[in-house]
Amino acid sequence: MALCLERENIQHDSFRLFFPSYPPLTKGKNHSQAINVQVRDLIPGLPVVRQSSILSSLFQSSPPFSLINLTVDDLTRQLSEQFGFATFRPGQEEVIRAVLAGRDAMTVMPTGQGKSLCYQLPATLLPGLTLVISPLIALMQDQVASLKQRGIKAAAFHSGLTGSEKHRVIQDLNQKRLQLLYLAPERMQHEGFLQLLRTLWVSLLVVDEAHCISQWGHDFRPDYLKIGRLRQELTNPPCLALTATATTRVQIDLCKRLSLRDPLKLVAGFRRPNLALSVRPCQSRQEKLATLERLVREREKGTILVYCATRRAVEEVAEWLGHSHQSVGYYHAGLSDEERRLVHDDFRRGTVRILAATNAFGMGIDKSDVRLVVHFDIPGSVEAYYQEVGRAGRDGQPAACVLLFHERDLATQEYFIQLAAKDPEGSDRAARMRTLLQEMLGYVSVPTCRQLAILDYFSDEAERALGPCGLCDRCVTPVRQACREVSRDDAASAKAVLETVSWCGGRFGVSRIVEILRGSRSKALLAFGGEGCPTYGMCRALSKPSVTGLVKDLIDSGYLQVEGAEYPTIDLTGRGQEILRGTSAVILKGAEERPRDVPVKKPSRDRALPIVALGASPEDQQIFERLRQLRTELAEEENVAPFVIFHDKTLKAIASHRPATTGALLEVPGIGELKAERYGRRVLAAVNGEK
């Protein structure tokens, strides 16, 4: 084995002090080139790791450095002695050799395939410090504990440490006792700590969860944008970027932002052959809770993870499951550092078998027996979904991954998009988030194998060539007539829908579009001139469910898109515009031949069921009056008209339903995520008669 050092370092006084017997260099035409120093020529018999630690004490800057000519036996011996593994997994050795040769590398490996070994093993061989930027404290704690058990000098520096713990890490850095340091990205903002890093020889910079640096990534973190500057201040050490989820556009973006120089690019297969993926459509939040309880009950062994989009949903799910199951816990960013640490420890030990969590929990969690991952809410992107289902089946045994889908869940993701849009610099970010969400909706409605859909998304042609998974819901129960070119009559109706949406200019939702097409004479429709639409009444012969179904088919097939949170509207996509221009034909996903409707007799108005029955109880009326009083107070506080807060119809529905939780409140027509967030606590208090 050889060390590759610049000539100036071999001439360094410290090098000569430790290795006086090494022959002096002579001047010549190759004076500026690096020299391959044979390890055996330095201190015969001294272990490689010890020689590396000696070299790290010689040079305080970051000289060009590499370990080359390592034989297979050299690496496998280190793998066995330090980590207890007999062989490398696919891709690991190639990345490790690139790192040891001082080359930049970008590696995309599925969760559970051993990404961390790609820098942990080099850290035991390289002189100086291996610095790992990592976003999650739980990951750091797991990795440091594991490395220390293997006799590798590692530490982590993050906000969760006590003052004395931080002092100990700084002391170890000053005295060059550490081989590997995990660093939370926010610590890069502290000038004092940066000054300390500048005095060290950082021989390798590792960016874990590297997708966080890309605004196209599913978990963009602004602090990651500072890594490029940090690398420059450390005199540009070799950089290894690691992630489990990166599309081609994310890979290009992160390589650019990290200024990777001619990097090794290794993208391992995205297929997870032991995972059974499925999507369960649900009509209400209560149905989702019931389905979740049934899934958990059927899974008697192994660990279960339930991912939710909000902290409130996490606590609601944990409370619901806690009524009928033991060992239930929850985790989200609203807990204190100590509470999160305790939950994480309980989960790792198995004390907590069922865990409800936001995406603050999960990346890098190395627990092999997760048999079920449930997404209670739709994630914001396919990358986020793939990252989280990757927690399941890390031992290679069969595991199930179920997404419970209800259309109203989109409101939560739309809320996150609106928050991004409010940021003065967030408009582009909001547009990207909307694109990612639309791609996730495409996965939900895909009519063919879900594994193939994910492989298509990540452009994994090699794995795709292996064919369908045979495990997902689409493989087990294929969708009948998944795609079809519609009949002439349906094509005319579909085009009428698209023309109506175009005329409305993205102002209205599905219900109003259907009203226009069926020629409704409602006051609201006539008030804004709906009868002036060229397609007004063109679908009068079709039933309301039939027209509504056609609109939803066009949404699922990518001709229309849903926008907005509390009051969703629909607008044309590029594909929809192509239909109106006559450049392509309508092909619908998941739609069977639609039978012609027969005339439908409308029920008489007096037979329709009102939201609050005419014979409403006195208690309902009392609740309604309390809600009206609350609405007046809210309207005065916000200086708006009362109907802007809630319509009477909504108040009557609340009085009739008498919700006891925020989740139940969300089931009331007219209550969206935003209003539940803003007014929910006071509404529930009014329902319960509390002041």
**Which tens digits make up the pLDDT trace of 221-269?**
778 888 888 888 888 899 999 988 778 888 888 898 888 989 999 888 7
State the Cα–Cα distance between residues 357 and 427, nearest whole angstrom: 28
Model pLDDT, residue 546 = 83
State the Cα–Cα distance between residues 269 and 45, nearest whole angstrom: 41
CATH of domain 618-687: 1.10.150.80
Residues present in the chain in total: 691
Q: Write down the mean pLDDT value for the chain.
A: 78
Model pLDDT, residue 19 = 46
Question: Fold for domain 42-267?
Answer: Rossmann fold (3.40.50)
User: Residue 542: which residues within 8 A CB-CB, separation 6 or more?
Assistant: 493, 517, 518, 550, 597
Model pLDDT, residue 426 = 65
CATH of domain 483-589: 1.10.10.10
Model pLDDT, residue 447 = 83
φ, ψ at 55 (rounded to 5°): -65, -35
Model pLDDT, residue 40 = 39
pLDDT digits (tens, 9 = 90+) for 331-370: 988 888 788 878 888 887 788 999 999 876 754 466 778 9
Query: Which of 582, 572, 495, 583 shows the shortest CA–CA distance to 538?
Result: 495
Model pLDDT, residue 45 = 43
Assigned token pair, 140: 């750091």
State the Cα–Cα distance between residues 420 and 502, nearest whole angstrom: 27
pTM of the entire predicted model: 0.58
CA distances from 530 to 2, 329, 445, 492, 518 (A): 80, 52, 31, 20, 11
Which residue type does 671 have? I
CATH of domain 275-476: 3.40.50.300
pLDDT digits (tens, 9 = 90+) for 436-445: 888 888 899 8
Domain boundaries, given as residue ranges, for the chain: 42-267, 275-476, 483-589, 618-687
State the Cα–Cα distance between residues 572 and 513, nearest whole angstrom: 13
Model pLDDT, residue 632 = 84
Distance of CA 382 to the CA centre of its chain: 7
Model pLDDT, residue 66 = 52
pLDDT at 8 over 70: no
pLDDT digits (tens, 9 = 90+) for 626-683: 888 888 888 777 765 565 677 777 888 888 888 888 888 887 876 766 678 888 889 9
pLDDT band at 52 (very low <50, low <70, confident <90, very high): very low
pLDDT at 35 over 50: no
Burial of 73 (0-12, 13-18, 19+ CB in 10 A): exposed
Which residue type does 414 have? E
pLDDT digits (tens, 9 = 90+) for 557-614: 888 887 764 567 888 888 888 888 887 777 775 444 444 444 433 333 333 333 333 3
Which range, 243-247, 318-322, 380-384, 527-531, is most confident?
Answer: 318-322
pLDDT at 288 over 70: yes
Model pLDDT, residue 486 = 54
Token pair 């639609």: residue: 594
The arrangement of strands across the sheet holding 180-183 comes to 154-157, 180-183, 129-133, 202-207, 239-243, 105-108, 264-267
Range 451-466 average pLDDT? 86
Contact 141, 344 (CB under 8 A): yes
Judge if 42-267 and 275-476 fold alike in CATH terms. yes
- Measure the N-to-C terminal CA separation of the chain; round to a whole number of Å: 77
pLDDT digits (tens, 9 = 90+) for 158-205: 877 888 888 999 999 988 889 999 988 888 777 888 888 888 889 999
State the Cα–Cα distance between residues 446 and 672, nearest whole angstrom: 27
pLDDT digits (tens, 9 = 90+) for 613-640: 334 566 678 888 888 888 888 877 776 5
State the Cα–Cα distance between residues 118 and 681, nearest whole angstrom: 49
